[in-house]
Structure 1
Amino acid sequence: MMLGADVGGTFTDLVLFSDGEIRVGKLPTSEHQEDAISEGIGELASGSIVDVFVHGTTIATNALLERKGARTVLVTDTGFEDIIEIARQDRPALYDPYADRPTPLVARSMRIGIDRESLPTIPDADAIAIALVNGHVDRRRERELASVISAQQPGTPVSLSSVVAGEFREYERISTTVLNAYLTPITANYLKALGERLVETGTVGSIGVMRSSGGLMNVIDASALPAAVLLSGPAGGVIAAAAFAEELGHDRVVSFDMGGTSTDVCRIEDGIIEVSHERSIDGYACRLPSVGVHTVGAGGGSVAWIDPGGALRVGPRSAGANPGPACYGQGATEPTVTDANVVLGRIAADARLGGRLELDLAKAGTAIGLLADELGLSVVDTALGIVQIAEEVMSGAIRTVSVERGSDPRGAHLVAFGGAGGLHATSLARSLGMAGVVIPPFGGVFSAVGLLLAPPRSDAQRSVHVSDEDFGPLDDVADGVGAEIRDALCAA
């Protein structure tokens, strides 16, 4: 018996596979993610033991977006303490003089520069990042520093740049290491609590965690390398879309995952999922492989609002699971994309979302009506405007992963899933001239299906200095990385 659970910003999706039978569940995401997961497993498994539990989690993503990570110390070479602030000296927005980079995750007073002669006192912290400029070359020195610092602060998790992202380019490597350290305590504590609740009680046999690159890792590795699970949830949907497209014989597809909080799109050609080996996550450089998903803040729960210029806008702020859209009847008064779809009759007023959540057409109409009064439009026209604006944002995301990367979306099929994907897929495909739309079975929980299809995976990288005449230790390094990967896969 296998069960996959994908935790989103609004709903938690579960898929159980046992003896050739599939059962699905969808619950509102709880404040503590493990609560909804435990409830869902109880409903689907009916007391039976789940042999393998596979998890797509947003715990690390949420901690970063909400800046709820650990108080972190950065230990680096003297003179490089400010590199996470200086970055590459590029501007976030070329023509916006007010645009700025995000606040560094490590305060200036917590960045410690060292030389080879001495080690200054390291401030007490919840996590420590050790990232030396030549750490990718001399891994031994970082390990020695970690040993000394761990003796001073036993129990404090330490992230080494040579382990997290052992490649050259010091800014990206140091940024990724800081990101990893910042997220380690909250991710490790969550996975420990999940294990205590599921494994130690005998509810499940083992837990696997989806990594951003589209494969599974064990709980121990995920706890030590949370930067590798920042895109855990979206990766599952891409895996499922690729597998389904292959079964249908479609060589070129774009996965379109529209949930309650955001929309994730990814280009898949000839069954090969685009993988990015470096990306910016909420403004922070992360040099770890991840599926080439492009995310926009347009989902079913995206809030419609009027900007200072009097224009109608949609997102990126979302109503989330609580209170959710106005039509959920949980006290919300702001109009959302879901409310617009209910008012327009695109979602039946008597539908039960996830089989349990009743909708309130009157409250959806009231929320849209308040916005309509400000705009001087009818309720229906305002609802149509909300849908059109949301679809334009999502259309832009599809163009980003196709046209802007040299691929023509015409001739490609749109594989639409997620709780709201099917509502908007045909309009988007038509506007972009795509070949067609595919709505897979279990589309509302399709990312959880992808979790069950994902194989174990381990990623490792090293930079090696070579010349035209001398490839130096390239073969030895490759053999070492290969052995590291094999050991990790055997332990997965």
Structure 2
Amino acid sequence: MRVGADTGGTFTDVVAADGTVAKVPSTPDDPGRAVRAGLASAGGEGRPEVLAHGTTVATNALLERRGAAVALVTTRGFADVIEIARQDRPSLYDAGVDRPEPLVPRHWRHEVGGRLGADGAELEPVDIDELPVLDAAVGSVAVCLLHADLDAAHERAVAERLRQRGHDVSCSHEVSPEFREYERTSTTVVNAYLRPVCRSYLQGLDGAAGEVLVLTSAGGLVPAGQAAEVPASLLLSGPAGGVRAAAAVAAACGWPDAVSFDMGGTSTDVCLIQGGAPQPSPQREAAGFPVRLPSLDIHTVGAGGGSIARVDAGGALVVGPRSAGAVPGPACYGRGGEEPTVTDADLVLGRIPAGAAFPGLGGLDVDAARAALDRARVDAGGVVAVVDAGMEQALRQVSVARGVDPRELALVAFGGAGPLHACALAEALGMPTVIVPPRAGVLSAVGLLCSPVQHDVVRSWSTPRDHAGLDAALSEMADQARAELSGQLASLGAVERPETPPEVEVATSLDCRYAGQSHELTVPAVAGFAAEHRRRNGFDRPDAPIEVVALRARATRPAPLEVTDLPAPPERQAVVGPTVVSEPDCTVWVPRGWRADPGPVGALLLTRTSG
């Protein structure tokens, strides 16, 4: 049996290939405990053969600053790169804004002699004898030397000496072999910071299944051992699964262009889907630190069912980002929570039926929810309006801000709270259709179950305006990606290596820009750059040289089943709002002026009624 398990801030969701669903409260003190409880609750004899897992361990460790004590080894003169950063400020008009404290204190940043030129040629040999004895408290070491993305020899020499001394070492050429010194250093430091925590967690899942695969931020599964070595690639592990499943359901419903809207207990994740595929991003920011690794272009806001409502010092109603989480949870859970949350507001407004029962919690206490709102002197309708406004802005960020008209997109609503708020958001943006997929409350776990095994290879291109040799380099990288993915598959059990496995697919792309620009677009070929630049930015520059700065190759082995292959849930019924549709894993609010009709693959299609 193949099983997908998604650990969220409030619930852990498990979906098996036979359609069995389990939803259990998350256990923040030990996330693996909830995963095992979910596997047991999903039933079946013995342990699953394959566990496809989405985890928040990396994200939470970074947000809560619970990672390892990290030292940094870098080129002489570059110890402060992680603190100098870029000239852009996180909040332009906030005079008192502060950047996050560096993950490496100044006295643990060490420099070594040696230098490479911008073309990767050695200017000065590396001097590993300059390496000091590191503080005994150091738990992990990040090594990032200048231009190591072009030639890793110096980094390898430094890493070998450090490993001989018994240190756990993350090298930039292994984690993020791309140009831009600050981003490469930041990514390597984040990886070193997270590795001990994530390695311990993933090793703790040994035995939970015959094979444990983990979803990366790019939407592909990798063996748990590889995920433990590059935990910086797991910062969007769970949300990426939901986006993949949302794209598949939207396409099956005739909407290849859509926006996924995943509202869970702690946060909301949105992503633009075009041509049936989630939009990618080469970089994202996590806890204020840039992470330069392949990712889906997911925008996250601190708004979920557990987001706490309060009145701030200026008298304004604020919702989130602080969350009640799984423990104690919203006041209506009856677990000791006293602060009002979005779930409490939805319950008081009647959007969640008074007799509803959440997994592992029993019935919800509407009186406790109302009392919590009264104590905080906040109105349930106001709480919903404020949280919806924040999520509307997130949807605009991935549509209007990218030059895409939301009126031509469907909104795919999922997560435990997504279908409660989707119609109001679609109304605000003029989106014609809301799609609620089957098993919407556990869709991220469905996406995990149906995600491909994937391997990415990236390298910098040292001669941006000289395109000679590009085809040969891309072909070489494609062969490398295919060989490395095949090696990973060979190490997996028989379930992931069937007698007639699906064909490994390889795609290559390039990061291009016009001369003088500081940002790139990823395109399949240089010849397509001008058209993509015009589509994204509204203009092109026919007379400007095109620079190539990075090459990419992605090898993919499709999953043995598609999202639409899962057994169909009970057929949904057509209803006209205002009404509530209660489902085992979520609740759908159909407001006045909307109707819901059963659609393809078991989806529920919500549209506005005439007038």
Q: Smaller-chain TM-score range?
A: over 0.9
Equivalent residues in 2 for 1:400-439, closer than 5 Å: 400-439=397-436
- Mapped partners of 1:242, 1:46: distance in 2: 29
1:38 corresponding residue in structure 2: 36
1:235 corresponding residue in structure 2: 240
The alpha-carbon distance between structure 1 residues 344 and 222, as it changes in their structure 2 partners (threshold 3 A), is: same
- Mapped partners of 1:182, 1:145: distance in 2: 19
1:347 corresponding residue in structure 2: 352
- Mapped partners of 1:254, 1:470: distance in 2: 36
- Mapped partners of 2:445, 2:171: distance in 1: 32
- Mapped partners of 1:344, 1:174: distance in 2: 49
1:5 aligns with 2:20: no
Does the 8 Å CA contact 1:180/1:225 hold for their aligned counterparts? yes
Deviation at 1:105, TM superposition (A): 0.6
1:129 corresponding residue in structure 2: 142
Deviation at 1:459, TM superposition (A): 1.4
1:378 corresponding residue in structure 2: none
2:123 corresponding residue in structure 1: none
Equivalent residues in 2 for 1:137-156, closer than 5 Å: 137-152=150-165, 154=166, 156=167
- Mapped partners of 2:471, 2:400: distance in 1: 39
Higher strand share: 2
Cα deviation 1:37-62 (Å, max 9, x = unaligned): 11111121333331111000001001
Equivalent residues in 2 for 1:270-285, closer than 5 Å: 270-285=275-290
- Mapped partners of 1:216, 1:236: distance in 2: 10
Equivalent residues in 2 for 1:145-294, closer than 5 Å: 145-152=158-165, 154=166, 156-195=167-206, 197-198=207-208, 204-294=209-299
1:110 aligns with 2:83: no
Letter of the 1:251 partner, please give it: P
1:486 aligns with 2:499: no
- Mapped partners of 2:448, 2:351: distance in 1: 30
Deviation at 1:272, TM superposition (A): 2.0
Deviation at 1:149, TM superposition (A): 0.9
- Mapped partners of 2:467, 2:270: distance in 1: 43
Does the 8 Å CA contact 2:25/2:360 hold for their aligned counterparts? no
1:55 corresponding residue in structure 2: 53
Does the 8 Å CA contact 1:172/1:287 hold for their aligned counterparts? yes
Letter of the 2:485 partner, please give it: L
- Mapped partners of 1:482, 1:63: distance in 2: 34
Cα deviation 1:42-90 (Å, max 9, x = unaligned): 1213333311110000010010000000101110001100000000122
The alpha-carbon distance between structure 1 residues 469 and 283, as it changes in their structure 2 partners (threshold 3 A), is: closer
Higher helix share: 1
- Mapped partners of 1:91, 1:439: distance in 2: 38
The alpha-carbon distance between structure 1 residues 120 and 331, as it changes in their structure 2 partners (threshold 3 A), is: same
- Mapped partners of 1:81, 1:89: distance in 2: 17
- Mapped partners of 1:134, 1:119: distance in 2: 19
Measured on the aligned residues, the alpha-carbon RMSD in Å equals: 1.4
Does the 8 Å CA contact 2:334/2:368 hold for their aligned counterparts? yes
Letter of the 1:358 partner, please give it: G
Letter of the 1:344 partner, please give it: L
Deviation at 1:23, TM superposition (A): 0.7
1:388 corresponding residue in structure 2: 385
Letter of the 1:69 partner, please give it: G
Select which of 335, 339, 360 maps to 1:330. Answer: 335
Deviation at 1:252, TM superposition (A): 1.4
Q: What is the count of residue pairs matched by the alignment?
A: 472
Higher RCO structure, 1 or 2 (CA under 8 Å, sep 6+): 1
Deviation at 1:27, TM superposition (A): 0.7
Further displaced range: 120-129 or 265-274? 120-129
Cα deviation 1:342-385 (Å, max 9, x = unaligned): 1111111211113753211111111011122xx6xxxxxx0000
2:597 corresponding residue in structure 1: none
The alpha-carbon distance between structure 1 residues 470 and 38, as it changes in their structure 2 partners (threshold 3 A), is: closer
- Mapped partners of 2:253, 2:441: distance in 1: 19
Deviation at 1:478, TM superposition (A): 3.4
Deviation at 1:327, TM superposition (A): 0.2
The alpha-carbon distance between structure 1 residues 148 and 418, as it changes in their structure 2 partners (threshold 3 A), is: same
Deviation at 1:7, TM superposition (A): 0.3
Q: Which runs of 5+ in 2 are unaligned?
A: 114-125, 490-611
Deviation at 1:173, TM superposition (A): 0.6
- Mapped partners of 1:401, 1:187: distance in 2: 30
Deviation at 1:467, TM superposition (A): 5.9
Equivalent residues in 2 for 1:83-98, closer than 5 Å: 83-98=81-96
1:306 corresponding residue in structure 2: 311
Does the 8 Å CA contact 2:24/2:360 hold for their aligned counterparts? no
Deviation at 1:92, TM superposition (A): 1.5
Does the 8 Å CA contact 1:122/1:149 hold for their aligned counterparts? no
- Mapped partners of 1:101, 1:82: distance in 2: 14
State the SS of the aligned residue for 2:273.
strand
Deviation at 1:289, TM superposition (A): 1.0
State the SS of the aligned residue for 1:451.
helix
Letter of the 2:43 partner, please give it: A
Deviation at 1:457, TM superposition (A): 0.8
- Mapped partners of 1:251, 1:46: distance in 2: 35
Letter of the 1:184 partner, please give it: R
Does the 8 Å CA contact 1:277/1:290 hold for their aligned counterparts? yes
- Mapped partners of 1:298, 1:62: distance in 2: 16
- Mapped partners of 1:122, 1:45: distance in 2: 52
The alpha-carbon distance between structure 1 residues 188 and 487, as it changes in their structure 2 partners (threshold 3 A), is: farther
- Mapped partners of 2:395, 2:63: distance in 1: 23
- Mapped partners of 1:296, 1:162: distance in 2: 31
- Mapped partners of 2:212, 2:477: distance in 1: 25
Percent of paired sites with the same residue: 49
1:399 aligns with 2:396: yes
Does the 8 Å CA contact 1:425/1:437 hold for their aligned counterparts? yes
Deviation at 1:221, TM superposition (A): 0.8
Does the 8 Å CA contact 2:3/2:449 hold for their aligned counterparts? yes
- Mapped partners of 2:462, 2:484: distance in 1: 25
1:445 corresponding residue in structure 2: 442
State the SS of the aligned residue for 2:242.
helix
- Mapped partners of 1:83, 1:469: distance in 2: 29
Q: Which runs of 5+ in 1 are unaligned?
A: 199-203, 376-381
Letter of the 1:45 partner, please give it: G
Deviation at 1:237, TM superposition (A): 0.5
- Mapped partners of 1:257, 1:401: distance in 2: 14
- Mapped partners of 1:8, 1:274: distance in 2: 23
State the SS of the aligned residue for 2:258.
strand
- Mapped partners of 1:305, 1:173: distance in 2: 39
Deviation at 1:479, TM superposition (A): 4.5
Cα deviation 1:176-201 (Å, max 9, x = unaligned): 11111110000011000111x41xxx
